[in-house]
Structure 1
Amino acid sequence: MNLRSSWVAETGQTREDTRLTQTGVTTMSNPVQVRSGILPGSYDGAFRLAGFWTFGSGAMSATVSEGRAVIQGEISQGAYPVTMPTAVVLNFTPGNAQYSRIDVIVLKIYDNLYDSSTKTEAKLEIIQGTPEQTPKVPLIPARCLPLYEVLVPAGASAGNGGIPWNTSLKDLRSTVVSLGGILPAEGQTGPGAYPGQYQDAANTLQRWDGAAWVPYPAALGGIIPNTASATPASYPGQYRDTANGQLQRWNGSAWIPAVAVGAFVDNGDYGDTTSTTYTSTLAGRVTNPLTVSFVAPPSRAVAVSFGAKMRSTSSDHYAYMALKLTQGATVVNDLEDDYAVLAASQNMISVANTRRYSGLTAGTTYTLTAFFRVITNTLTLKAGFDNTFIKVDPLP
């Protein structure tokens, strides 16, 4: 049976057994293997990752700081813990006379059980690239953990200034933590190993949901911050803060205001019409029509107030103002004289009305539009309107 154990058999425990049975040492990538990476931390706690930090310390040399890491082999080989207790200086070969190249600093495991070497050790090495007009990253062998790419310019040497360290180093380090720990994500962390795994990426706590890293509030009931308001909803009843500061709730198909808000529109310009059928355009007004949109609240009902200062050029002929309710191109509630405000006066008089609209679809946007007319006449009389308004209040 290919079942490995450690510290059970009296004799015969192999190095492979020990590596394969280590638990709690680093971040899982699947049921058997772990991620390769560096253990996080710094001396003063100011940095997420200080292990194996590298800097130029000479024209053609770099210093690699101390650190601890784990390097995963093939699935049957287990994980190799590595510790470098003191800093190490690496020396780079001078650059090619014509072309630049890319070298890679790696932690490499030599294990003669799996490679053609005669060594069984961990080493800090430089994998040298090929000088080319467009240099490429060299192939990284198995059981290697890349730390840094180093661009070695053409002609670089100790005698002509060496490697420009401020621009030549590219950090490749990635992190690992103990089993179940929150990973301070640096570099490529890849997918999670199980739903419920966490990582701290770009100062945002994320949770692996089985398919993607999801910002923590989206996954577990917190309010999604406005910086992540484009994140898809996870469940009905979830909340988010929008970019304009509005708290919204996901109802299963749409984001709707968590706290119902009203709407208001008015127009202070005088306008009139001779139309005996309802029209949304008044002569003399710069802006037509008078419309307002609102989102239906959870109660699916709103109270709508509307009105104007109105007059007709004859006290025997009525001026009407009515509302049409639409949802997109669909008319939900059409114009009706019974619900209009009206006036028959040659002088301007203020008229208003309030009515209830119910049976709306919560979270859906509706639009109210004002229409105007004068009662049928043969005298080409006018109906005049000023200070028109529409006000929408959500009902509990």
Structure 2
Amino acid sequence: MSVRSAWLLPLTQTREDTRLTPVGTFAPESEMRTRDGVIAGGNPLGATGAGAMSLQIGTGRALVQGTTAQGAYPVAVDAPEVVTFTDGDPQFTRIDAVVLRVYDALFDTFGQNLARVEIIEGPRQATPTAPSMPSACLRLWDVTVPAGASAGVGGIDWTSALADRRRFTSGYGGIIPRGYGLGFSGAYDGQYRDTGTGLERWNASVNAWQAYPPAPIRPISTRQITAAPLTPTSTFVDFTAAAWPRVTFTVPPSGAIFVTVGGQVSNRSTTASTAWMTWRATGAYVEGHGALNGLSAQANRVIASRRVHRDGLTPGGQVTLIPGWNVSSSNTGSDVFITDGQLTVEPVQ
């Protein structure tokens, strides 16, 4: 026997069956169902061409979930199995599935108790689709069988016909390895899976997989490119986007940010002369230019930065920060500048 399953009647389960089948693997899919799938390790249940119309499935272990009442069957293939495809349809290409299937006379009408590797043929139609899976059946590979394919005319091109459909499972609390398809929901809060590029954790409160650890939210900065016109004015003026690009960001889940503005500011025309480097916010959060967020010099030269905290913003909202400047109307000298500016947003985790 090369395909073994535990917990099947009649009482023929051997000690070897028990040792080889993955009885301890149990990743929940719901209250009473187990996530079926292949047990990782090497290349379990891999596929290689074995002839013009034949495919060999290698050794490996898996869990095959039946109906909720049936439960999950631990299965082991301890020697390679060869399956042979019927000739292609005269008119249509079809897609067949190579599966690991469990027959249980207590729950089906086939009158036998065994596990086997077999082929389920796809429908013959103009647009080929893979066949639906019956109960207690785990899809391993899809095989495209061209119209008219047979051993006499070259058979199946195994370099292009195979589509890997193995999905993987793990023990309770384990990380589910990457396999075919990531479009499945987690079964419980805190479940982990491997995407092939990193880990994801199931967040039951939002019904979504989320990167773990969460990707760090990095500061966003923009630098002043050209100086302000320095025309005396009694109001604050936005830098043009060409002179100093804006900063647009998404409000983090905390609804809080730090904003830092820094650079060189000078206006020493008179003892009352002032110059300002500042910013304003528009979009999901609004704040104007002014003393609450600006950097200023009065009858002096300043090289400095100012960092302020803002909270209560709407998470997920889009906000744009626009740098600004102001030079008092008393400006009559040459030692006036607003330059080397940098504006930085730091989202609070």
With normalisation by structure 1, the TM-score equals 0.62
Residue aligned with 1:159, SS? helix
AA aligned to 1:38 is V
AA aligned to 1:201 is T
Indicate how the Cα distance of structure 1 residues 132 and 389 shifts in structure 2: closer, same or farther if over 3 A, else same: same
- Counterpart CA distance in 2 for 1:291 and 1:149 is 52
Indicate how the Cα distance of structure 1 residues 93 and 241 shifts in structure 2: closer, same or farther if over 3 A, else same: same
Greater RCO structure (CA 8 Å; 6+ sep): 2
Query: Could you give the per-residue CA deviations for residues 224-252 of structure 1, whole angstroms, max 9, x where no partner exists?
Result: 2xxxxxxxxxxxxxxx154xxx4xxxxxx
- Counterpart CA distance in 2 for 1:354 and 1:26 is 63
Count of residue pairs the alignment pairs up: 305
Residues 1-396 of structure 1 mapped to structure 2, 5 A cutoff? 24-42=24-42, 50-188=43-181, 190-210=184-204, 211-218=207-214, 224=215, 240=216, 242=218, 246=219, 265=224, 267=226, 273=231, 280=237, 306-308=264-266, 321-322=275-276, 326-328=280-282, 330-333=287-290, 341=298, 352-353=301-302, 361=310, 367-372=322-327, 374-375=329-330, 387-389=337-339
- Counterpart CA distance in 2 for 1:277 and 1:67 is 79
Residue aligned with 2:288, SS? strand
- Counterpart CA distance in 1 for 2:274 and 2:95 is 80
Structure 2: 5+ residue stretches without partners: 1-8, 12-21, 250-255, 314-319, 345-349
Indicate how the Cα distance of structure 1 residues 85 and 393 shifts in structure 2: closer, same or farther if over 3 A, else same: closer
Do the aligned residues in 2 keep the contact of 1:264 with 1:292 (CA within 8 Å)?
Answer: no
AA aligned to 1:197 is Q
Do the aligned residues in 2 keep the contact of 1:108 with 1:122 (CA within 8 Å)?
Answer: yes
Deviation at 1:74, TM superposition (A): 1.4
Indicate how the Cα distance of structure 1 residues 357 and 158 shifts in structure 2: closer, same or farther if over 3 A, else same: closer
Deviation at 1:393, TM superposition (A): 9.7
Residue matched to 2:253: none
Do the aligned residues in 1 keep the contact of 2:53 with 2:151 (CA within 8 Å)?
Answer: yes
Do the aligned residues in 1 keep the contact of 2:191 with 2:201 (CA within 8 Å)?
Answer: yes
Indicate how the Cα distance of structure 1 residues 384 and 138 shifts in structure 2: closer, same or farther if over 3 A, else same: same
With normalisation by structure 2, the TM-score equals 0.70
- Counterpart CA distance in 2 for 1:146 and 1:30 is 20
Deviation at 1:386, TM superposition (A): 6.2
Indicate how the Cα distance of structure 1 residues 383 and 267 shifts in structure 2: closer, same or farther if over 3 A, else same: farther
Query: Could you give the per-residue CA deviations for residues 267-321 of structure 1, whole angstroms, max 9, x where no partner exists?
Result: 469x675x67558599xxx9987798799xx99797866435877xxxx9x9764
Structure 1: 5+ residue stretches without partners: 1-12, 16-21, 43-49, 219-223, 225-239, 247-256, 343-350, 377-381
- Counterpart CA distance in 2 for 1:291 and 1:139 is 55
RMSD: 4.3
- Counterpart CA distance in 1 for 2:56 and 2:305 is 76
Could you say which structure has the larger radius of gyration?
1
AA aligned to 2:38 is I
Indicate how the Cα distance of structure 1 residues 291 and 164 shifts in structure 2: closer, same or farther if over 3 A, else same: closer
- Counterpart CA distance in 2 for 1:68 and 1:320 is 77
Residue matched to 2:5: none
- Counterpart CA distance in 1 for 2:257 and 2:46 is 59
Deviation at 1:118, TM superposition (A): 1.9
- Counterpart CA distance in 2 for 1:360 and 1:122 is 64
Deviation at 1:362, TM superposition (A): 5.8
- Counterpart CA distance in 2 for 1:159 and 1:308 is 89
AA aligned to 1:121 is L
Deviation at 1:149, TM superposition (A): 1.0
AA aligned to 1:69 is A
- Counterpart CA distance in 1 for 2:201 and 2:238 is 54
Indicate how the Cα distance of structure 1 residues 360 and 241 shifts in structure 2: closer, same or farther if over 3 A, else same: closer
Indicate how the Cα distance of structure 1 residues 266 and 371 shifts in structure 2: closer, same or farther if over 3 A, else same: farther
Residue matched to 2:14: none
Query: Could you give the per-residue CA deviations for residues 66-88 of structure 1, whole angstroms, max 9, x where no partner exists?
Result: 11121111122122222111111
AA aligned to 1:370 is W
- Counterpart CA distance in 1 for 2:242 and 2:130 is 64
AA aligned to 1:371 is N
Residue aligned with 1:98, SS? coil
